Amino acid sequence: MQRILREKGFVQVEVTGKSGDGGIDGRGIAKINGILSFHIVFQCKRYKGKVSSKEIRDFRGAMVGRTDKGLFITTGSFTRNAIDEATRDGAPTIDLIDGDKLAETLKELGLGVKVKIKEEISIDEEWFKNID
């Protein structure tokens, strides 16, 4: 994740995740057009299933006093309630990246994936039957 965030324009990306990390796996600064910057904390979950709203609330609790912006990344997906919780009015917004978005980002950046495009050609027999 550190490499992906750096490739996407983050600076000072630091992975802090370890046991007792308080729910924060890392932090970084997102630079926007070289003018604005946002301090962001992130959490990563290697899941096959779904991240629940409780996990989003727990992450938001860990964010308090550390930053105003969060990023939650999973190899799985998010429940509808988790998505709603991440954008709840009156609470700091948490951006979400699910497994599909993560895979698309890896593809876009050319990190750890190889793309092969396969062309399939078949004979249109009807076309040949109608030749005069």
Q: For the residues of 67-128, what is the DSSP string, one character each?
A: -SEEEEEESSEE-HHHHHHHT-TTS--EEEE-HHHHHHHHHHHTSS------------HHHH
For 74-100, write each residue's pLDDT tens digit.
Answer: 999 999 999 999 999 988 889 999 999
What top-level class would CATH report for the domain 2-129?
alpha beta
> What is the torsion angle, in degrees rounded to the nearest 10, for the CA atoms of residue 44, residue 48, residue 54 and residue 56?
30
Is pLDDT above 80 for 108?
Answer: yes
Mean pLDDT of the 98-123 span? 92
The pLDDT-based confidence of 21 (bands split at 50, 70, 90) is low
Q: Stretch 58-76: mean pLDDT, rounded?
A: 91
Which residue ranges make up each domain of the chain? 2-129
pLDDT of residue 20: 57
pLDDT in tens, 30-56: 888 878 888 999 999 998 899 999 999
> In 3-state terms, what secondary structure has residue 131?
coil
Q: How far apart are CA 105 and CA 114, in angstroms?
A: 13
pLDDT of residue 22: 66
**Between 53 and 23, residue with greater pLDDT:** 53
% of the chain beyond a pLDDT of 90: 58
Share of the chain above pLDDT 70, in %: 95
